Amino acid sequence: MVLGISTVVITIHQQNITLQQRAEDRQLARERRELEKTIADEKCEQEYNISAEQRDISEKQRKRGLDIQIQQYRNTLLVEYIREIGQMLERNQGSLTNNTIIATLARVQTLSIVRQFDSHGKAQIIQFLYEAGQLTASQNPLDLSTADLNNMNMNSSISELPMNELSLAGVQLRFCSFVAQESNMSTANFVNSNISHANFYRAHIEGSIFFNANARMIKMSFILSEKATFSSIRCINANVQHANLHKVNFAGANARETIFTNVYLLSAAKFVGSNLRMATFTDTDISIQDVKLPSGMLGTVSSLPINGNPDCNRSVENIWKLSDPESIIVVLSNNDKVHCIFTRKNNTKSAINMTQVVNITNSWNLEYWNNSQAILIARLSTKIKISLIGITSDRTFVEKVTGESYSLFI
């Protein structure tokens, strides 16, 4: 009986050992599979990364090769274009525009090729045509109107030669760069061109014409543009800070939201009929003669005193208040024999006062022009003084200046 029980116990123990071994074997097998799977995944990831790097290298090499091919193709096009245009010039006495057929062929060929070039290539074509004398504004230039010269880079670092009288009338010049074209862009022609977003930073564009150009958001900081014409230009939201606009013409311009901060605008700068709504003129002297103000009215800066510039046919005492009504007369100027001047009679020895009260509230609205100035300018002979006195509407004394040329802030 004891032997039978012992046999049963041993059998059960052996079975337990067998089950434990099987469980351990299964656990080992599971761990082995997981380890093999991890190794396989890592190997696949490594192979994928290597493959991705290889693909990236291959793609870069492919793009580099393609860029080289494109550049070689463009170089070939440029050489062929220069050769063909050169032959046209040889056959037509150095001009592409004397013959209408040649002019048409040259125009079509040029408009076609510039579309295939980048910013630098476009600049090379324009420089070639200019140096060949075919884009000089005063010499019957080749018509490139509608040409796609967008993004062209004509910075001084690329084009170092003077490009005076460059004619790019009617051309698409969006996002072009003419940065620091010192003395290179004088008397250029940009009539009817689209120069929106273009950059003329520090460019010298004296006497250049921008009539009716689309110049939205153009950058013209620090430009020198004496006697330039910007009439009818659409320069909305443009940047013209620190520019020298000496004697420029902005007649009929739409300069809404344009920044004219620290701009030199004196000496006959014209803004006749221009739209300056929300434009900024901080630290800038400007004439508002006939400018369209936010109220819709036209500004005026004609001589504020009546008969300030003597009218040869008007009586002095009817307009000016004289301390001695018989002491001042109007005579022809000795300088030009056309204009008249005030002078005192020869027999007058005592001091004479001429005064006139001017109501400036009838001339402009200070709500819109709160930094306006009354400017005192006079040509005086010796021993004569002139004063400008500012008085507010409530008769408060503002300021008094005396001399030949002064400004009185209103």
- Is 348 in the same domain as 209? no
- Is 326 in the same domain as 243? no
- Is 116 in the same domain as 238? yes
Cα separation, 295 vs 276, in Å, equals 11
Residue 335 has pLDDT above 50, yes or no: yes
Q: How many CA atoms lie within 13 A of 296 on its CB side?
A: 0
pLDDT for position 405: 41
Decide if 376 contacts 408 (C-beta within 8 A).
yes
Q: Is residue 96 a part of any domain in this protein?
A: yes
Decide if 169 contacts 190 (C-beta within 8 A).
yes
Q: Which carries the bigger pLDDT value, residue 384 or residue 99? A: 99
Q: What is the pLDDT of residues 28-68, one digit of tens each?
A: 778 778 888 888 888 787 777 776 777 777 777 777 777 78
- Is 190 in the same domain as 280? yes
Q: Is residue 51 a part of any domain in this protein?
A: no
Decide if 184 contacts 164 (C-beta within 8 A).
yes
Decide if 178 contacts 158 (C-beta within 8 A).
no
- Is 184 in the same domain as 280? yes
CA distances from 375 to 19, 261, 303, 404 (A): 112, 20, 10, 10
- Is 263 in the same domain as 200? yes
CA angle, residues 361, 367, 373, in degrees to nearest 5? 60
Q: Is residue 313 a part of any domain in this protein?
A: no
Look up the domain containing 263 and give its range: 92-287
Q: What is the CATH number of the domain that holds 97?
A: 2.160.20
Characterize the bridge pairing of strands 387-391 and 397-402: antiparallel
Q: Which carries the bigger pLDDT value, residue 356 or residue 237? A: 237
CA 44 distance to own-chain centroid: 56
CA distances from 67 to 59, 74, 99, 118 (A): 12, 10, 38, 12
- Is 183 in the same domain as 267? yes
Cα separation, 126 vs 180, in Å, equals 18
Count of CB atoms within 10 A of residue 267's CB?
13
Q: Is residue 142 a part of any domain in this protein?
A: yes
Q: What is the pLDDT of residues 197-245, one digit of tens each?
A: 999 998 889 999 999 999 999 999 989 888 899 999 999 999 999 888 8
How many domains, the chain?
Answer: 2
Residue 371 has pLDDT above 70, yes or no: no
- Is 341 in the same domain as 279? no
pTM: 0.62
Residue 402 has pLDDT above 60, yes or no: no
Instruction: Report the length, in residues, of the chain.
Output: 410
CA angle, residues 152, 155, 156, in degrees to nearest 5? 150
Backbone angles phi, psi at 6, to 5 degrees: -60, -40
Q: Is residue 113 a part of any domain in this protein?
A: yes
User: Going by C-beta distance under 8 Å and a sequence separation of 6 or more, which residues neighbour residue 308?
Assistant: none
Identify residue 240 by its one-letter amino acid code.
Answer: V
- Is 101 in the same domain as 219? yes
Q: What is the pLDDT of residues 385-396, one digit of tens each?
A: 777 677 666 666
CA 90 distance to own-chain centroid: 39
Cα separation, 15 vs 17, in Å, equals 5
User: Among residues 287, 310, 329, which one ends one of the domains?
Assistant: 287
Characterize the bridge pairing of strands 405-409 and 373-377: antiparallel
Q: Give the SS3 label for residue 342.
A: strand
E strand or H helix at 398? strand 397-402
Q: Is residue 67 a part of any domain in this protein?
A: no
Cα separation, 371 vs 155, in Å, equals 37
Cα separation, 199 vs 222, in Å, equals 11
User: Among residues 242, 270, 287, which one ends one of the domains?
Assistant: 287
Cα separation, 137 vs 169, in Å, equals 9
Characterize the bridge pairing of strands 354-355 and 397-402: unpaired
